């Protein structure tokens, strides 16, 4: 099972916790993890490597040259702010270029998730020569997506936090170039960054996965007035009782003290198994969080090196 995740200096802990939950619940699987990053420090790499080695799993790090994302908008007014100003959200678009050619499929997992069950059945999904398999987004019925991206609403809109990817299809159809062309042609339309690009490009080449493989915030909080179509009601209820993957979309995230997500205790349970077990939580929205957010913007706007941001961040946390 080939797992891919993306991280930067601000998401190392979350990536480590996600991988711990993956390994804990897939002990019988032979897992290879591919970590895409923009220059995280050697200590962070060592901590994540140790988690994989402790479970007897393989892991490899790929340093990404972010200059290849010059055509992709980030941090613009009107864009979703949940990814901050990091290009890491776009890394998954170049998996066909970044990963070895002998890997024909991967499972991409966001850092703000925890795995609660075996993923063997998900991994064995028949791709039917499709490009991607994903769970419908919680705002799948929101007409705004389709108006922005210019494709028919019945085609649907998926969440990109959990993606089963057919790399053979990606390579055969040279989709990395297609992604770049779309980003260059419609930068003002990309409110949801790479998720918008993936939805447009693969609007006719996707497989719908059960909701339990990507249980978004809205699938816990908005069951009575959900914006998801009625046909997913039973899947939503089943996913609450038997979640395979919990995705902490929205804010505050479970590593903040004021998070009220009903599955935060599960996040805490896996964090207790990691080197970050004693990290002190702070409240989302406090002054330190605001300063870090501004620092991230400076990182993009000024071309600050990642190492400089890490050094700055040490003082923010004092």
The model's confidence at residue 193, banded by pLDDT at 50, 70 and 90, is confident
Per-residue DSSP letters for the chain? -EEEEEE-TTSHHHHHHHHHHHHHT-TTS--EEEEEES---HHHHHHHHHHHHHTT-EEEEEE--GGGGTTS--S-TTS-STTTT-GGGGGGGGHHHHS-TT--EEEEE-SSEEE-S--HHHHT---TT-SEEEPBPTTTT-HHHHHHHTS-GGG--B-TTEEEEEHHHHHHTTHHHHHHHHHHH-GGG-TTHHHHHHHHHTTTSEEEPPGGGSB-THHHH-SSS-SS-GGGHHHHHHHHHS-SEEE--SSS-TTBTT---TTHHHHHHHHTTSTTTTPPPB-TTSHHHHHHHHHHHHHHHH---HHHHHHHHHHHT-
pLDDT band at 307 (very low <50, low <70, confident <90, very high): very low
The 10s digit of each residue's pLDDT in 68-126 is: 877 786 655 554 545 445 677 889 999 999 999 999 999 999 999 999 999 999 999 99
Domain ranges of the chain: 2-211, 285-318
What local confidence, expressed as pLDDT, does residue 74 receive?
65
Instruction: Using pLDDT thresholds of 50, 70 and 90, give the confidence band for residue 221.
Output: confident
Highest mean predicted confidence (pLDDT) among 38-47, 72-81, 284-293: 38-47
CATH class, domain 2-211, is alpha beta
pTM: 0.86
User: Residue 293: what pLDDT?
Assistant: 53
pLDDT given at position 308:
47
Model pLDDT, residue 202: 97
Q: How confident is the model at residue 314 (pLDDT cuts 50, 70, 90)?
A: very low
């Amino acid at each position: 099972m080939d797992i891919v995740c993306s991280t930067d200096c601000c998401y190392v802990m979350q990536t480590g916790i996600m991988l711990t939950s993956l390994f804990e619940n897939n002990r019988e699987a032979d897992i290879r993890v591919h970590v895409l990053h923009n220059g995280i420090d050697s200590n962070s790499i060592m901590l994540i490597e140790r988690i994989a080695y402790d479970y007897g799993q393989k892991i490899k790090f790929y340093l990404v040259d972010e200059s290849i994302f010059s055509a992709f908008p980030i941090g613009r007014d009107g864009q979703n702010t949940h990814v901050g100003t990091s290009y890491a959200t776009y890394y998954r678009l170049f998996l066909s270029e970044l990963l070895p050619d002998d890997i024909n499929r991967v499972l991409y997992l966001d850092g703000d998730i925890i795995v609660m069950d075996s993923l063997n059945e998900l991994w064995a999904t028949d791709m039917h020569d499709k490009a991607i398999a994903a769970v419908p987004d919680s705002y799948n019925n929101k007409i705004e997506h389709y108006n922005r991206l210019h494709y028919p609403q019945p085609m649907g809109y998926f969440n990109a936090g959990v993606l089963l990817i057919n790399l053979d299809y990606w390579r055969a159809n040279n989709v990395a170039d297609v992604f770049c062309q779309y980003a260059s042609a419609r930068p003002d339309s990309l409110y949801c960054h790479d998720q918008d690009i993936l939805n447009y490009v693969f609007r006719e080449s996707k497989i719908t996965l059960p909701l339990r493989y990507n249980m978004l915030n809205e699938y816990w909080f908005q069951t009575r007035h959900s914006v998801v179509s009625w046909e997913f009601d039973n899947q939503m209820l089943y996913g609450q009782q038997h979640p395979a993957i919990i995705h902490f979309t929205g804010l505050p995230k479970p590593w903040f003290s004021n998070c009220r997500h009903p599955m935060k205790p599960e996040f805490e349970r896996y964090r207790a198994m990691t080197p970050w077990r004693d990290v002190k939580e702070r409240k989302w929205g406090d002054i330190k969080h605001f300063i870090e957010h501004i620092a991230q913007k400076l990182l993009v706007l000024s071309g600050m090196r990642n190492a400089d941001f890490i050094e700055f961040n040490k003082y923010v946390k004092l």
